[in-house]
Amino acid sequence: MQAAGRDECSLQIDKTPAHELLARRHRQPISVGFLQLGIFIGLICCLGCVRSRQDEEPVKLVFKHPRLLSREEPLHTLLDQFRHAHPHIQVQEEVLPSSSDQQHLFYGTNLEAGASDFDVFALDVIWAPEFRRAGWLYELTPYLGPDGLADFLAGPVQTVTHEGRVYAVPWFLDAGVLYYRRDLLDKYGLAPPHTLAELTQTAQLILAKESNPRLTGFVWQGKQYEGLVCVALELIRAYGGEVLDAHGNLLLSQPAAVAGIRALRAFIAPDRISPPLVTTADEETARYIFARGDAIFMRNWPYAWALLAAEDSPLRGRVGVIALPGSATHPGVPTLGGWHLAINRFSPHPDLAWELVSFLTSVEAQRRLAAAGGLKPTRVAIYSDPHARQDDPSLALFFPLLQAARPRPVTPFYLMFSQVLQGEFSAAVTGIKPVEVALHDAEQQLKRILALDVPEERHAQAPTN
C-alpha cells in the first residue's frame, strides 16, 4: 500500500515541474501561488517522509545464547513475537554450545577485545561478578529503577547486584534436584531417599533384584567441567562443609569437605551404584541414560522434568523428583544455577537491547518458557499465580527445591577457582588421587589465587552508561 501511494505522489510531482510552478506563480494571484507552493512543499515532505521510513534499515540486534537443554521452540516463538511488535529491530539469534565453560571462553576472548558484534547475551549465574568487574556489562539500574528486581528470587539477584547497581536480569533458574524411578521404588515398597546412605541402599536393593543388565543406580555430572563443581559442592555441603567461609578462609581440607568428596567417589567405588562412565557424563549424558530407563536415580537440573514427562517419553508418569539427599547430620543443599540476560557494554544499541532484555524477562515471557519449555522462572510471583500453575503444574513442585539453592562462591575470581576445583575434584572421583590429597592440592592452588594482587576494577574507569 505504501509503495503505491509513493508512486502516485511522484507522478503528481513529475507533472508539475518547478519552472512551470514559478511561471504560474507569475500568472496567478499571489494567494493561489502560495497555496500551490505550500502543497508542493507538503508533497515533497510527505514523499520524503514515506521514503525515509521505508529506506530506514531496521537495526540489527544480535542475541547470543546457549543451546538450551530444554525445548527451544518457546524461545523462538517469543522472538518472533518480539520481531512482530518491533519492526524497527531485526533480532538475529546466535547460538553457542550449551557448555558453560565453552561459552565463557568465547565471551572472555571476545569481550576482552571489545567485541561489539553482539548486543544481548545470556550469562551463567557464576560469571556476573567477573564480567561486571571487567567492565563488560552495561549497567541496567537506570532502566530498571530502584525496585526493578523486587519481584525476583533473592539468590540470583545477589549475583547480578553490586553496591546497589544491577548489571543483568535473572532469566531462568536452576537448582540441583534428585529424579527417581517412582515405578521401581513402588515395586519394591521403597520410599524416596532423604539421606545419601538411603540412596545407596535403595539403589543396591533394586539393582540386586532387577534383571535389566544395563540398569545402574545413580547417574550425575562427573565429567571434568563446571557441572562437576556443582555436584561436588552439593556433596560437600550435605556434610556441612564449604569451599570458603564468610571471611574468605579456605575450608577444603576440613573433615566435612573430605567426607563429601569421599561420598561422591564411593558411589563409583566401593559402592558401585554409579558406573565409571559417570566421570565423563554431563547433564545430557545423564539424562539420556535415565530417560532410556537405565538408571534408578539421577541428579540433574529442573529442565529434565518436562522432557521426562512429555507425551513421547517412555518414562512419562513413572518418575518422581525430590530434594537432594543430605547426610546423617545435614540436609541436602542444591547448587544454585541459572542464566541471566545482559547487555554487552560495547553494544552500539543499548536502548534497543534493553527492549529485548525487558521483553524476554517479563512475566509473560517467563510464564511461556516455563509452561512450554520447562525453564523455571526467576520472578517469585509466577510460582503462586494460579494461571501459571495451571499451565505448568511442576511450578509448585519445584518452588521449595529452588528456594533452598545456595550459590557457588560469589567472587570475580570464580572461574579461576572453578578451574582448580574441576581438575582436583575430577582426580578424586576418578580415583587418580586420594581424596585428601586432591583437596589439599586444590587448597594450595586456591590460596595462591586469593593472594593475587588484584588490579583496580576496570568498570570504574570505563565511561558511564
Which residues sit at the interface with ligand GLC, rule CB under 6 A?
Answer: 100, 124-126, 174, 226-227, 230, 301, 337-339
DSSP codes of every residue in 280-348: G--HHHHHHHHHTT-EEEEEE-THHHHHHTSTT-TTTTSEEEEPPPB-SSS---PBEEEEEEEEBTT-S
Q: Given the complex with ligand GLC, which of 66 and 434 has the nearer CB atom? A: 66
SS3 labels along 37-87: HHHHHHHHHHHHHHHHHHHCCCEEEEEEEECCCCCCHHHHHHHHHHHHHCC
Residue 108 CB, nearest distance to ligand GLC (Å)?
15
Q: Given the complex with ligand GLC, which of 376 and 389 has the nearer CB atom? A: 376
428 DSSP assignment: H
Nearest residue by C-beta to ligand GLC?
A: 337
Sheet with 295-300: strands ordered across: 216-219, 295-300, 177-181, 319-322
Q: Given the complex with ligand GLC, which of 89 and 125 has the nearer CB atom? A: 125
Residue 247 CB, nearest distance to ligand GLC (Å)?
25
Residue 441 CB, nearest distance to ligand GLC (Å)?
23
Q: Given the complex with ligand GLC, which of 69 and 259 has the nearer CB atom? A: 69
Q: Given the complex with ligand GLC, which of 102 and 465 has the nearer CB atom? A: 102
Contact yes or no for 185/198 (Cβ under 8 A): no
Residue 69 CB, nearest distance to ligand GLC (Å)?
7
Q: Given the complex with ligand GLC, which of 301 and 305 has the nearer CB atom? A: 301
Residue 461 CB, nearest distance to ligand GLC (Å)?
29
Contact yes or no for 196/327 (Cβ under 8 A): yes
The residue among 105, 114, 58 whose CA lies nearest residue 85 is 58
Q: Given the complex with ligand GLC, which of 98 and 313 has the nearer CB atom? A: 98
Residue 367 CB, nearest distance to ligand GLC (Å)?
19
Q: Find the helix or strand (DSSP H, E) in which 201 lies.
A: helix 196-209
Cα angle 350, 356, 362 (rounded to 5 degrees) comes to 130
Beta bridge partners of 218: 297
Residue 316 CB, nearest distance to ligand GLC (Å)?
24
